[in-house]
Every structure is written in C-alpha cells, then in structure tokens.
Amino acid sequence: MSFLRSRFVQAVVVLIVCFVLFRFGIQPPAPWSVITLYMAIILIAILAFVSSDADSWRSFLTPLRDTVVKPERRLLRMVLMIVMPLLLGYYAYTQAAAKPQAPPELRAVHPAPPASIQFRGKEINIQGIDNPLRKDQSAFKQHVAAGGEIYIRNCMYCHGDNLDGQGHFAHGFSPPPANFVDPGTIAMLQEAYLFWRIAKGGPGLPKESTPWNSVMPAWEDRLTEDQIWQVIMYLYDATGQQPRRWESH
Ligand code: HEC
C-alpha cells in the first residue's frame, strides 16, 4: 500500500470520494453547476494542502513528471495523448451539439369556421350571415347594454374588464384568453365567426387548433342565441372595432 503514501494518489482519492459524496450523497440531487463549484473548491483546497511544504509538493509532482519524461512510462504517455484529446473533443461536442427540443406548438389561432353549426337543436349558418340584431338600429343601445351585462357576468374573469385578455384567471391559461383590443382578434373576424367560437368554445375547435388546451368555454347551453349576438355587439362597441364584412357585401 506504499502508493497510498503518494501525495498524488491521495489527492486523486480525495477528489473521487468528494465527487461521489456530492453526486450521490445529497438528496434531492444537487444540480451540476453546484457540484462543479464544490469540486473546484475541493481542488483548490487540495492544491493548497499539497503545496504547503516543499517535500509534499515534490511528492505530488513526481508521478506527473515521471509520466511526462520517464522512458518506461512511454505506453501510458501515448495512451494519455490519445485519450485526453478524445475526451476534450467529446466534451466540446456535447456542449456544441444541438439539443433535442420539444417542437414549438403550432396552432391555428383562427381556423376556418364550419359552414353551419347545431345550436340547441337548430341549424345556424355561419358562412355568410350577419348579426340579425343589427337590423333594428333603434335597439342598438339596448343590445349593447345587455351584452355588457352578459360580458361582466360571464367573460370578464378571463377576457378582462378592459377586454384586453388580462382577467383574474388569465395568467393561469395557455393559450391565454383572447385580447379583443388587439387588432389581431375580433377586428379581423366576422360576427358569425365569433358566434361560432362563443357557442362552441375551445371544445368546438377543429383539428388545426390542436393542442386542444383552450379553456374558452362553450356557451351554447348557458346563453341564448340573442344573448350571444348581444355580447358580440358589446365586444365591438366597447373596443371601438368594426367586424369584418363578408366579401360579397
Ligand atoms: C375560462 C376562461 C374564459 C372565459 C370565462 C371566456 N373565455 Fe373566451 N377565450 C378564452 C381563451 C383561453 C381563448 C383563446 C383560445 C381560443 O381561441 O379558444 C378565448 C377566445 C375567445 C374568442 C375567440 C377570439 C379569437 O380571436 O378567435 C372569443 C370571441 C371569446 N373568447 C369570447 C368570449 C365571450 C363572449 C365570453 C363570455 C360569454 C368568453 N369568451 C368567456 C377563455 C375564456
């Protein structure tokens, strides 16, 4: 066991024991950055210790120097000269290689609406229809006011009291609730499109909109046909946006 008296062997043993302790002795496992930091501190401590007096320092360096210059260590030297660059190269490769990543969620935010939907047992055309409540201009204010109440009761928690998608619950959801003030939402859509989305919600989205994790509820069992048209009128009135027209108009 005389080789255990060599400073170099002692240093290596201490390093290995410390590494095993840090890696497997800490629960829950310490992150690599912490282990690397601890190992660097241990290495500095060992170097300080072995270099504390001249004999110990010489004893520490002897095996290193022997490996570099002694003829009988030629084989070891050659092996090291091949293995060390390979290890370094492998390390550089693992750092530079592209890491596998989850694919970005590609989701059609505004998929094409169906031609028609079933609403409480009645077929409602989505393609080409306009908001029927807009025909009677005199009732406009009334409908918007009713729509505002419906909004505050049902939609505000997610879509926000400023209609900007910043409701109380908004931060818990991905995708986030639509921001109606943003020109990329209702301003680009026909009212009939909104009718479909409000009636059928997240569950009614077609395949292009997967992943299906929209929390937008389906309102068809809670709001009547007129109530949905009213809340739509409120959305446009409150944000100052205009609904998109069907091309033929
Ligand atoms: C539980 C939260 C929640 C509530 C309550 C909610 N929504 Fe939504 N809504 C969402 C989320 C999330 C989205 C975005 C994902 C999507 O398009 O399905 C959304 C999307 C929409 C869209 C589609 C906008 C676009 O650009 O395609 C409309 C319209 C809409 N909501 C209207 C309403 C109305 C009207 C109400 C109330 C009657 C309401 N929402 C209530 C969460 C909610």
Six-digit token string for 210? 């997967």
Q: How far is the CA of 107 from the centre of ligand 1 (A)?
A: 16
Find out whether the beta carbon of 127 lies less than 6 Å from any atom of ligand 1: no
Neighbouring residues of 44: CB distance < 8 A, sequence distance ≥ 6 = none
Q: How far is the CA of 132 from the centre of ligand 1 (A)?
A: 21
Neighbouring residues of 46: CB distance < 8 A, sequence distance ≥ 6 = 11, 14, 15
Give the residue, out of 158, 181, 190, 235, with the most ligand 1 atoms within 8 A of its beta carbon, to mutate for a pocket test.
Answer: 158
Give the rounded percent of residues in the chain with a pLDDT score beyond 70: 97
Distance of CA 118 to the CA centre of its chain: 36
Distance of CA 180 to the CA centre of its chain: 23
Angle at 25 between CA 21 and CA 30, to 5 degrees: 95
Distance of CA 229 to the CA centre of its chain: 35
d(CA 106, CA 38): 42
Q: How far is the CA of 180 from the centre of ligand 1 (A)?
A: 9
d(CA 232, CA 243): 10
Q: How far is the CA of 141 from the centre of ligand 1 (A)?
A: 23
Please give the span between the terminal C-alpha atoms of the chain, in angstroms, as a whole number: 96
Contact indicator for 93, 41 with CB cutoff of 8 Å:
no
At 168 the pLDDT is 94
One-letter amino acid at 11 equals A
pLDDT tens readout for residues 153-211: 999 999 999 999 999 999 999 889 999 999 999 999 999 999 999 999 999 998 888 77
d(CA 81, CA 86): 9
Query: Which residue's C-alpha comes closest to atom 32 of ligand 1?
Result: 198
Q: How far is the CA of 122 from the centre of ligand 1 (A)?
A: 23
Contact indicator for 201, 208 with CB cutoff of 8 Å:
no
Find out whether the beta carbon of 42 lies less than 6 Å from any atom of ligand 1: no
Contact indicator for 239, 151 with CB cutoff of 8 Å:
no
**Statement: residue 249 has pLDDT above 60:** no
At 138 the pLDDT is 95
pLDDT tens readout for residues 112-169: 999 999 999 999 999 989 999 999 999 999 999 999 999 999 999 999 999 999 999 9
One-letter amino acid at 144 equals V
Find out whether the beta carbon of 214 lies less than 6 Å from any atom of ligand 1: yes
Six-digit token string for 111? 């998929």
Contact indicator for 158, 213 with CB cutoff of 8 Å:
no
d(CA 183, CA 19): 57
Query: Which residue's C-alpha comes closest to atom 26 of ligand 1?
Result: 185
